[in-house]
A and B are shown apart, each in its own frame.
Chain A
């Protein structure tokens, strides 16, 4: 693994009195694609939300690109170059495609790819035809593309992708996988969470497995695929 871009040490998160994450440790190296696998309710989204500073009650040492983000606010974390794509997409339904992209726009950043709407339309050709369409009148797959494109407008060094394949038609899932591979080849670091092992295996180098808020396994994607026991214990329904 190259030098870690994102480091999470001893992350604990709470919703009210419920202790959701317990001592989560993660590392993601620059240029890697890492999957966070786990069943429904395992704590995948909470991990991402905690890293982004969106969970109010969180403890632990988090750093990104050498900067301490343990107490930083979401917008500060985003401006450091960590992009976040939420699981429920959260498109601004009243805003057009172009306006959604505008909200995500941030200045260019040395060392990470610079995105413009035109470049994003190359990556997601479907979006090019609906520049002025309100986000509320798009299909689920189109919204998923838009939410990723919107985050890329911030020219991030790394993105957190929450279940990019969820609820999408097989053809669109394949497109997503291709897009992620293309992003990786441009030097973008990606961490994605998934329940779909097949999809994760298509794009990821390494994997963590989370269950009940604890990391239970880490290793290369190939090793995880080969390990029936872990898969049966933590992944299959």
Chain B
């Protein structure tokens, strides 16, 4: 009995940290509408900085002063991020800030590696709270008791701050209608900066408080940001009380999940999130988003079929791709083949994101399903490559058909989080069902059929399949189906009113995107000769997202350009430097600042203005 009680209490202590980080995330999202992917990085920085202060200064003052200093410093770094980066992007397409903050994640990872080194750092016990209390015969750390108390105290302070101060009132007003708040004389920029300070300081505080509980390490950032998102989404965006309840729930799931199903704790968390979202689409205490006003996003420009210059350009690119094997070496062919596969992967995500208006944080699930379809067929059924390439889109499509049915019931960030949840579930199945999937060791020996085993042959095969698939996606966008999809995206209510079944359309688009991602996954499996759980991990989904966003969501050429640039960069940078994250992150940030509409979006504007100038002449 005592054991369960202490387990319950350590769940509560974990919940306190989770709540601190998640509340910061929620506040930032509420006001700025920015999905701050770097939030986990501020948590990690908080932990490292607190560790260092306590290490250098030592003793009581070093530890407790370090926590305060780390929180403040994290807030200041957040302010710098806002002033240097985010501020320039408030008028960019939605989610572009997500890309920018992803660049920040990469940069901070390498900076932390440089400053603090790759080893885990074990922090001190909390001075004054080193001891243990006895609860029903079980020892329980005093420090955890302190955290359990701290959680509700911070919640109360935040609630008071928002309800009873002018700053809080302005923040709540700006959350609902930024533009009107500005027109009433409120300096939104200052407000946003201060919100970033508070949000990031909360993350830093969470990290700093974690130092006595776990070793500080370089993986803290991504694992925490995913958990914090789960908490915010389960609790309901913008509800501090909701985030608190959700943190309690997730904390307990983790504490007891470890006891009951040690392998699938993570899945358990995502499973609960999926259930909550299906039952309560806006989280426990969330309200339907009241379409925040004045987000300053111009309406999407309509997609235009390619004009003659663009068509010629496309044909030229294809011609170059056809001729490349003549000059390219073996290594270059491998990179080119992979890039082509990623083009299809990105195009499939773009299909549901751009015209479909559904953002997925878990698109790698369908890519991975396709890859595993090919791998399992080869390993367990001696299936040939062609059978594998046929099964891949089928399995990817089936997965999307199943998960899509749930996802299209939601929209926006909620939808995105549900896709992430499903992707995590698929990932853990691949990771833990060792008997079938080989677990972490993956499936090896997934090679193309003998006739396609030469690198150049497989390259041409990939080129043919990818070109065909991308053209099909294009066709769909300009077919009545595509127009209906965009109508459903832009005015769901009106589309329903004229008798369109928007959900069904979205479900179809989701499934088609999944099938195409599956096809890409199948191609990838044979190109690599192996299949690993990393194919369907969160980073793989993020890569796809980065490719689409980098290219520009509302241009059809976007994903093609984005995939080529991203994969090319990644391959090259990794080859030449150990600091590839720093460089890649830096490049992403610079690209975002230089092309706030995406690379292809910028090119479009160029060609577009050229064309209309001709028209006038």
Contact of B293 among A74, A90, A105, A154 (CB under 8 A): A90
Judged by a CB distance under 8 angstroms, whether B169 is at the interface is yes
Contact of A75 among B187, B296, B299 (CB under 8 A): B187
Known: A92-B172, A93-B176, A95-B172. A103 touches B186 (CB 8 A): yes
Judged by a CB distance under 8 angstroms, whether B57 is at the interface is no
Known: A102-B169, A103-B169. A92 touches B177 (CB 8 A): yes
B residues 131-179 in Cβ contact with A at 8 Å: 166, 169-170, 172-173, 176-177, 179
Known: A78-B183, A94-B176. A103 touches B170 (CB 8 A): yes
Q: Complex: how many Å from CA A100 to CA B184?
A: 11
Judged by a CB distance under 8 angstroms, whether A16 is at the interface is yes
Q: Complex: how many Å from CA A78 to CA B183?
A: 6
Q: Give the nearest-CB partner of A100 in chain B.
A: B173
Known: A16-B298, A104-B185. A54 touches B172 (CB 8 A): no
Judged by a CB distance under 8 angstroms, whether B279 is at the interface is no
Q: Complex: how many Å from CA A56 to CA B297?
A: 11
Could you tell me how many residues of chain A have their Cβ less than 8 Å away from some Cβ of chain B?
26
Indicate with 1 or 0, residue by residue over B173-202, a CB within 8 angstroms of chain A CB atoms.
Answer: 100110111111111100000000000000
Whether the pair B185, A78 counts as a contact (CB closer than 8 A) is: yes
Whether the pair A92, B185 counts as a contact (CB closer than 8 A) is: no
Q: Which of B172, B183, B188, B298 counts the most A-chain CB atoms under 10 A from its CB?
A: B183
Judged by a CB distance under 8 angstroms, whether A46 is at the interface is no
A residues 73-87 in Cβ contact with B at 8 Å: 73-75, 78-79, 84, 86
Whether the pair A75, B188 counts as a contact (CB closer than 8 A) is: yes
* B174 CB, min distance to chain A CBs, angstroms: 9
Q: Which of B173, B290, B296, B298 counts the most A-chain CB atoms under 10 A from its CB?
A: B173
Whether the pair B176, A104 counts as a contact (CB closer than 8 A) is: no
Contact of B181 among A52, A99, A103 (CB under 8 A): A103
Q: Complex: how many Å from CA A151 to CA B183?
A: 9
Contact of B184 among A56, A73, A94, A150 (CB under 8 A): A150
* B333 CB, min distance to chain A CBs, angstroms: 44
Q: Complex: how many Å from CA A93 to CA B166?
A: 17
Known: A16-B301, A93-B176, A93-B290. A75 touches B183 (CB 8 A): yes
Whether the pair A102, B166 counts as a contact (CB closer than 8 A) is: yes
Closest 5 CB pairs of A and B: A78-B185, A74-B182, A103-B173, A90-B180, A74-B183
Q: A74-B183, A90-B177 are in contact. List 18 more A-B contacts (CB 8 A).
A: A54-B183, A56-B296, A75-B188, A92-B172, A92-B173, A92-B176, A95-B169, A95-B173, A95-B176, A99-B172, A100-B173, A102-B169, A103-B181, A103-B184, A103-B186, A104-B184, A105-B166, A154-B185
A-B contact pairs, 6 of them (CB 8 A): A52-B183, A54-B179, A56-B91, A84-B184, A90-B180, A104-B185
